[in-house]
């Protein structure tokens, strides 16, 4: 069973429907036992870093996510789910989970670019990884973000995207995979990447 972390954010049902389409049993849950017993965990959603961390902490889900990560079982973050993995976000000066060394920055003011970035953009694979099996390089995915992750360890970066500047859009570290783009909203290639994760 695949556990989708329920921290009262939006977009959770879209991920659940994508997993249903792929034929994987899944449950949107905030129950510690269910999460820790799951084969895999997905942490998706949209929203602000501070509100996300507060919702996680109110339900002790920050500790549950750390415990699950330490089991070594596969874990996937999507959108806000990549940002809160790092140590700190500029968004409301938020301390995050700290699973990855680095921080999250806001896009700089740019006359020709709208913030947030909303829409399709190109992801370039900069390191081979099984999550990209069968995915063209480059490929287009759907983004909704005003902030972007800046890992301290460049070796964790497996995908990059340009929106005014080049930024990290996909990471891998041990049993952890995360994307700034929305796999569940990215059509065939997004579903393929989800399926790759679920077969890891």
Q: Which of 91, 96, 168, 182 is catalytic?
A: 182
Q: Would you call 182 a catalytic residue per the annotation?
A: yes
| Token duo for residue 66 | 């750390």
Query: To which residue do tokens 């699973």 refer?
Result: 99
Residues 6+ apart with CB under 8 A from 192: 134, 135
Type and span of the H or E element at 188: helix 187-199
Is 96 an annotated catalytic residue?
no
Q: Which of 91, 96, 168, 184 is catalytic?
A: 184
Q: What are phi and psi of 47, to 5 degrees?
A: 140, -175
Out of 21, 79, 88, 122, pick the active-site residue: 79
Half-sphere exposure of 51 (CA within 13 A, CB side): 8
Query: Torsions phi, psi of 93, nearest 5?
Result: 50, 60
Distance CA 88, CA 52 (A): 13
What element of type H or E holds 132? none
Catalytic residues: 79, 182, 184
């Amino acid at each position: 069973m695949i556990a989708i972390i329920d921290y009262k954010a939006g977009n959770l049902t879209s991920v659940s429907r994508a997993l249903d389409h792929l034929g994987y049993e899944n449950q949107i849950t905030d129950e510690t036992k269910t999460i820790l017993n799951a084969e895999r965990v997905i942490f998706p959603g949209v929203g602000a870093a501070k509100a996300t961390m507060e919702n996680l902490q109110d339900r002790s889900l920050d500790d549950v996510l750390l415990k699950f990560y330490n089991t070594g079982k596969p874990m996937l973050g999507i959108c806000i789910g990549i940002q809160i993995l790092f140590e700190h976000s500029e968004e409301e000066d938020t301390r995050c989970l700290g699973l990855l060394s680095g921080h999250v920055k806001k896009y700089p003011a740019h006359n020709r670019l709208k913030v947030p970035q909303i829409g399709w953009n190109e992801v370039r694979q900069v390191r081979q990884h099984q999550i990209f099996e069968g995915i063209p390089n480059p490929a287009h995915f759907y983004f909704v973000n005003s902030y972007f992750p800046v890992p301290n360890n460049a070796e964790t970066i497996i995908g990059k995207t340009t929106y005014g500047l080049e930024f990290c859009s996909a990471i891998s570290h041990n049993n952890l995979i995360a994307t700034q783009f929305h796999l569940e909203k990215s059509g065939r290639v997004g579903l393929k990447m989800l399926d790759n994760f679920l077969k890891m």
